[in-house]
Structure formats: C-alpha cells, structure tokens
Amino acid sequence: MGIPAKRIKCEALTQPIHERTLAYMSNSEPQNSQRRPRYSGKHPRNFQEKYKEHAPDRYPDDVAKVLASGKTPAGTHRSIMVAEVLEVLAPQPGQVAVDCTLGYGGHAESLLQRLLPGGKLIGLDVDPLELPKTEERLRKLGFPDDALIVRRMNYAGIKKIAREVSPDGVDLILADLGVSSMQIDNPQRGFSFKFDGPLDMRMNPLHGIPASALLSKLTPAELARLLEDNADEVYSQSVAKFMLAAHAQTPLTSTRQLLELLKSAKFPLAFGDTLEDMIRRVFQALRIAVNDEFGALDSFLYSLPVALKPGGRVAILTFHSGEDRRVKKAFKAGAAAGVYSEVAAEVIRPSRQEQAANPRSACAKLRYAVRATD
C-alpha cells in the first residue's frame, strides 16, 4: 500500500561543498572593495542576490516583509515550536542545558534567557560554516561569557560533553533534528533541488563523502535499501537501478543533474503521489545516508539516560517518520524499564497559527521524557 501523500509531502519539507568553496558558501557579506550587484527588484530569486535578507540588522523592513509573507529570509532560520519546547523543558535559573543542534540559535537564545542567572547552555553543531556565525550572534546579545559554551561536534557524543560540564548529568537536553533553513536554501550545500548546486549534502563539508561519491560506492540493492529505510520509497528497487545505471554512464555530480534524471523517469506512482514527492524522497534518503543521521540519533538516544541527571528533561523535535519512530520507541522502552518517569503520551504538533506563519514547521513533531529520580 502506498504512503499517504500528505505525509510524504510533509516529510519532504526538511529536504534539502567542496572544501575549495567554503569561504564562498559561508554567505558572509562581500568585502568593501567588492562592488555588490544591484538588488534585483522586490523578489530576487538568486540566493546570493538576497543580501538584504542575509543582513537583517541592516535591512529590517525587507526582512519583515519576507517574514510576513510566511517565508524564511535567506541565510536565516525560524526556530520551531519555541513555546512548546520551553513548556516541556521548564528551564529554571541555575540549570545546565545542552542544545544538541544549535543551528541558528533561536532555541538557545530563549533557553539562555531562562537559565540565567547562574545557569549555562552548551551548544553543539557539526556545521563549520554556520556555527561560528551563530556563536557570534548569541554572544552579541550580551549573555555572560561563561553562560554559553559552543562546541563543534555531533550530538551522538552527548554523554561525553554532558559529563565534562556536569559530572552528575545535565538538567535539560534539546535536540532539533531538522535541517536548518540556512543549509536548505544555500545551493552550494546541495541539500535541495530548488537551485542547481553540487550534489553534496554533508552537514560538515570537511568530513565524510558527498552524495555524488556515495552513489559511486553503492550497489542497486544497497541504494534500494537506503531509499526504503530512509524515505519509505515504495518503488525503491526500480528507482535505485535507474539512478545507478545513469550514474555509471555520466556521474551525477549536481542537484540539477539528479533532478532532471528523475524527472525523465517513468516510474509508477502510489495513489495520491506525484513525481515531485518521489524526487524529494530520493534527496531525503541520500542526505540521511551521507550524514548517517539515523546512526547518530540511535547513539544519542542510547546515551540520553546517562547524560541526564535524575529528574532531568529532554525534548526532541523530529521532522519525518523514521526519526519519530526511533524517538517514540526509545522513550517507550525507557519508561517500561523505569529509566524515564514520564514520557509524552501523545506527539505534540505546532499550532495552526505557526504552520500558517512558517510552513516549514508543518512536519514537526515534539516528544519529551523525564529521567527517573530513583
């Protein structure tokens, strides 16, 4: 039976560099000696042309217009379900919290405001391009230097960092598993087919291999398994054979190449499905594989009870069914074993108002757990 079209399209919203282009992909403001291209009208389409959106402090009116239209300004990210996260974590002054996926820093900012005075937040992220910008942004807000600790590392290592900063465990842990808008919207990161760019998809472009290289290492059976496991692709075997046959003839090195190849296919579609749904699932499956996202999540969930102090709370935001299944299963097993004294009875979803204001929030699911005190 086919996957419901609504779920497919919802999960796809989280979709989506070569080392020599790191400086270019950082999207920093051009040097004073360079002449900036003319801002092309009210609605520039090119990511690099949207320099006003990349500088919200300098062009607040332009950014406000983008936000009012329900879109996310280029180079920024709109944190999802902030009020709900704060409600389930209930941060208090003096506590120690870990934001496992710092991203743009929206959740971190709200948490820090409630942890002070006396508390601290440890922000983790693997992205070497966005992490320095986020740290600078947060420190400019005036938080005490010792209240914010930033580390470039994968949240799979939560046990190590938690013990380092608080031997008895930390009070609060947040993991937002969505891909940041800064990553999705930047063509040079290769997460999305919206614009042409290298078929990369690495969260950390200094580590691992890009999606284009991964395709060269996979057999049709292995790719089919990735498509099925990572994106619930019904016709995974047909898609895998078609992709790798084409890749063997002409290596797929760009997002546009992969897009055009899949558009040329004549695959059967499940009821209510579209060709674009299938294309989005392929991009999702490759991104998850390139970054070993499920492996990192499994390690994180395994280490959570040790990282949290008794009575500590964890909140996890997921954006597709594969992630949510893992979180739900781990929390349920932990509650049955007495590790957690409380887990979310039902998944928490963003309000209709938030979904209307920020369509990228529509797929979000929030679950939480509380570490047992005994």
Residues 6+ apart with CB under 8 A from 87: none
Range 115-133 average pLDDT: 95
Q: pLDDT-based confidence at 179, cuts 50/70/90? A: confident
Range 126-153 average pLDDT: 93
Range 205-224 average pLDDT: 96
pLDDT, position 59 = 60
Q: pLDDT-based confidence at 52, cuts 50/70/90? A: low
Q: Show the domains of the chain with their CATH numbers.
A: 82-181+293-371 (3.40.50.150), 205-290 (1.10.150)
Of 56-60, 91-95, 189-193, where does mean pLDDT reach its minimum? 56-60
260-316 pLDDT tens trace: 999 998 888 777 788 899 999 999 999 999 999 999 999 999 999 999 999 999 999
236 pLDDT more than 90: yes
CB-CB contact of 354 with 81 (8 Å): yes
Q: What tokens does 59 get?
A: 């062009």
Entry field: residues in the chain: 374
pLDDT, position 178 = 85
144 pLDDT more than 60: yes
57 pLDDT more than 80: no
Range 345-360 average pLDDT: 91
What is the pLDDT of the chain when averaged over all its residues?
85
Amino acid symbol at 138: L
**pTM (2 d.p.):** 0.80
Q: What tokens does 64 get?
A: 């406000």
Segment holding 67, helix H or strand E = helix 60-68
CA-to-CA dists, residue 65 to 72, 264, 298, angstroms: 10, 37, 40
